[in-house]
Chain A
Amino acid sequence: MHKIGELTIKKNKVVRVKQTKFYQAHKSLNAKIVEFAGYEMPIQYSSIIAEHKAVRSSVGVFDVSHMGQVFVKGANALSFIQKITVNDASKLFPGRVQYSAMCYEDGGMVDDLLVYCISSEEYLLVINASNISKDFDWMQKNNSDGIELINRSDDYSLMAIQGPYSQKVVEKYFDTTINLEYYHFTTSRKSGVDFIVSRTGYTGELGYELYFVSDESFALDLWKTIFEIGAEYGITPIGLGARDTLRLEMGFCLYGSEIDATTNPLEAGLGWITRLNKTGFIGKEALLTIKEKGLIRKLTPLTMEERMIPRHGYELTSVGIKAGSVTSGCLSPVLDKPIALAYIDMALLQAGEPLNFIIRGKEYPAKIVKLPFINA
């Protein structure tokens, strides 16, 4: 664990570990802190299972300020976004959010992201913390449209409030009713601070994400106020550990686990965001070829009867040969059963022969299931 001002060496570069504006709140809650993507982040406060269940049954609060925010401005903002992302951003209108991805020319993935349409000439791209500098470089490299690209990742705080009672908490905080459909956003203002209030999240529950720029004292005051408002619903702080199990129960991809530069969106089950009929986006030609030739592997949701956890990197076999490997696995706190995502060889998958997880040298039958793993 790193303390304030400590330095870590990363790829021969000296990187100062950052803290979010909510850091002192985590410390005073005695959270277990880990370094994640250059930030000191809470991995758990009490128990991953208890935090997970709190989000499913009442409401939980996440500090996800490590996420990156890049504003795209200019008359050609839309055509730039259409070029660098795989989804069709022309469907967006002010107040609408879209899940999308950026691909390399070969169809491998730069990142998955959210695209916010602020106006026809201004968009906000929300990217993964571990990819901020890589993504921003990629955007700049592909900016031939005279677009203004502003990386405000260090300025923005992001609090996610997720769970059945999240709407009540957010409405009370802003003292207004909030009628947002899924993947829509609005703006609000509180004590002189502007917010983007977005009905998005990474849990599958009713939930909101609040983006804002403020000093530390405002952020800590917001944290305190949200917990006072939510006390009657049993509001709970949620660490990155439960964030991972919550997203996995829904089958949501995590960059670095399910998706990266060596995976394409089609095999990752993200065909639904990949608009191959859209003109000229980066990676389109490669993805069309991949589709035409047929996938060689497919991200597959699995479970097993034994109480074990198939973890990232564990192998699977079928008819005695390697069939694939696990990208993410956990014991689902809701099902109380193991769940996993794994890339499975398409030919073996189509052959329909039984699959086995290899756990500590032994084979255990794997069962293919449907996503989401749970009905949230």
Chain B
Amino acid sequence: MAIPENLKYTKEHEWMLIEGETATIGITNYAQGELGDVVFVDIDANLKELVAGEKFGVIEAVKTVSELYAPCSGKVLEINTELNGMPDRVNRDPYGAGWMIKVEITNPAELDNLLDSTGYGALIGD
């Protein structure tokens, strides 16, 4: 699967779709491949805010558990509750139906630290 050029990436293998002040966040295809079958995406339903660099959830895969780190600060707009019943969407469609959280970006300067698709490709040796 190609690395979408319209997204931004973190070294923790998360992607962000930035549309104006809104960011949609998920994990990359590379990350889902390394994790294997995702069985549970645990994000607190009452989560109101993300703080850049801080933990905001957990992904349970069959063999391993992995933490989600906020790529930017923001007010939580929506959590993908569809993943509760269908966590395998993260594996099947990591850049689409497997999205995890939507936020309103509060500190756009933080976005400067993100990688573009070329930079992320170099990171994973693609």
Residues of chain A touching chain B, judged by Cβ–Cβ distance below 8 Å, are: 43-44, 47-50, 241, 245, 307-309, 311, 330-331, 333, 360
Contacts and interface: CB of A to CB of B under 8 A. Distances in A.
B72 interface: no
A271 B36 CA distance: 36
The dominant DSSP class at the A interface is: mixed
Nearest to B40: A307
Interface of B: 36-37, 39-40, 42, 58, 60, 62-63, 65, 91
Contact of B91 (A47, A330, A333, A360): A47
Given A48-B63, A331-B60, A309 B39 contact: yes
15 contacts: A44-B36, A47-B91, A48-B37, A49-B62, A241-B36, A241-B62, A241-B63, A245-B62, A309-B39, A309-B40, A309-B62, A330-B62, A331-B39, A331-B40, A331-B60
The dominant DSSP class at the B interface is: strand
| Complex A-B, nearest 10 residue pairs according to Cβ-Cβ distance, in ascending order | A331-B39, A48-B62, A307-B40, A49-B37, A47-B37, A309-B60, A48-B37, A241-B63, A48-B36, A330-B62
Nearest to B91: A47
Contact of B65 (A241, A245, A309, A333): A309
A308 B62 contact: no
Contacts of A311: 65
A337 to B, nearest CB: 10
A68 B52 CA distance: 50
B39 A307 contact: yes
Given A309-B62, A331-B62, 17 more contacts: A44-B36, A47-B36, A47-B37, A47-B91, A48-B36, A48-B37, A49-B37, A49-B62, A50-B37, A308-B40, A308-B42, A308-B60, A309-B39, A330-B62, A331-B40, A333-B62, A360-B58
